[in-house]
Amino acid sequence: MKFPRPAWLVAMALMAAPVHAQVMHPHMPDPEPWKEAEVPAPSQWSVERAVEFQLGAQGSLRYAIDPQTVSIGEDGVVRYVFIAHSSSGAVNAFFEGMRCQTAEVKVYARWDPDTRQWRTSGSEPWQALDVRGATRRAMQMARAGVCDGKSPNRSPSQIVSALRNGRADQFR
């Protein structure tokens, strides 16, 4: 059906008006800038209750996460205690945060087994997740179930379940 020119112009103007109003509305506030929540390291964490998971060819290291420390903050950051066991019996623990929206990870604190306390080194920067280098393991965790695209997985229990059930097998 062919519209007369004036009717076609009116129809186009009516369709464009709502889009224009959404994009250019002068009274819409700017979105609030992202603000990171200040969350202390967990006072309680345990190697005994930690859930181990595989991240591809990891050599002599075994990886785990303490399920009781996994949280999704109002700032969108997934926080958890990550534990690495070496074949010699050494245990390293880190309190970390992951921003799925920006694909970044941050180490908030490292466990000091001598003092039995968390050590912080001030304000560590957020680091981009990458398939190589220092953030490779965190990238694997993000893809294995910490993140669901650019959002945190649905719940802390869903994150732990995804890691436990081996979604990380795709990295072998």
pLDDT of 124-141, one tens digit each?
A: 999 999 999 999 999 999
Element (H, E) at 159: helix 156-164
- Check: CB of residue 112 under 8 Å from CB of residue 119: yes
Within-domain flag for 66: yes
Within-domain flag for 130: yes
The DSSP string of 73-124 is: -TTSEEEEEEEEE-TTS-EEEEEEEEETTTTEEEEEEEEETTTTEEE--S-P
Within-domain flag for 156: yes
Q: What confidence score (pLDDT) does residue 11 get?
A: 47
- As for how many domains the chain has, the answer is 1
| Mean pLDDT across 14-33 | 63
Within-domain flag for 85: yes
Within-domain flag for 10: no
Within-domain flag for 44: no
Supply the range of the domain harboring residue 89: 51-171
For the entire predicted model, the pTM comes to 0.79
